[in-house]
Amino acid sequence: MRLVTYDSKRGPRAGVLRDGRVVDAWDVLEPGTAESSVRELLAHGALDRLAEELGGDGLPLEDVSLDVPVPDPEKIICLGLNYRSHAAEAGLEPPTAPTFFAKFRNALVPSGAEVALPAASAKVDYEAEVAFVIGRRCSAVSEQDAPNYVAGYTLLNDLSARDLQFATPQWMPGKVFDGFAPCGPALVTVDEAIAEGPIEIALTLNGETMQAASTDDLVFSVAALTSHLSKLMTLEPGDIVSTGTPAGVGSVRQPRVWLEDGDEVVVSSPTIGELRTTIRRL
């Protein structure tokens, strides 16, 4: 299934994207319920039932506006240097333990959004990433059991102000601006997202391919990351974990490539979809 959050007269609603139409998930499960979000679907363990009972015509996709698949996560956790190719291009050895930092809800914007370049930075970079979403409360789980806690996958562009990211030992100053986590277009359940094996991902900038890789280049797998993080904190349904970026970022190219007004950035995956972002300078 492809889960989305869409705007309706009733406010943001959880939907299922199927054959170019959006079917309201909660109308299928519990008509009249006050619950409405994708995060609540996950917390109730309702995905299997939803898949069994899904029906109805829904609304044409062109008639609805999609938000981030999970616009209200408790946590957004991002991995650094988690692709071997990216560590190599940076001249670094792959980390011996997962390196991670946080983003916040203010950074989330959906596919098709315009993101403003912050006045505080002159060196904003792109990072194509595969993210996974936690489906069940998860604490101190083994790597073997960890896949049972993953609901599905989506795309994320970890926009990064490099001049601020590396101004201190902590990376977060360059990561937390409004709109710096475009995410979407859908949360694709595990069975569909990995049906063809490792997830392929690519990024184009104004039509030129800048990054292309697959998750078989990850230093730490999704299962390893889930297990490791769950031993440090309780992971909740809807938490987003972005797995890092492959080689090809602008900050290590010669000449450097920084995002500019009017740039069109597309992160794509054959099994997950396309995440489109327009860059603006206000």
Confidence at residue 130, expressed as pLDDT on a 0 to 100 scale = 98
CA–CA distance from 113 to each of 53, 126, 140, 174 (Å)? 32, 15, 36, 20
Residue 282's pLDDT is what? 83
Specify the pLDDT at position 55: 84
75: tokens are 């946590």
**One digit per residue, pLDDT tens: the chain, 282 residues?**
999 999 999 999 999 999 999 999 999 999 999 999 999 999 999 999 999 999 878 999 999 999 999 999 999 999 999 999 999 998 889 999 999 999 999 999 999 999 999 999 999 999 999 999 999 999 999 999 999 999 999 999 999 999 999 999 999 999 999 999 999 999 999 999 999 999 999 999 999 999 999 999 999 999 999 999 999 999 999 999 999 999 999 999 999 999 999 999 999 999 999 999 999 998
pLDDT of residue 158: 98
pTM: 0.97
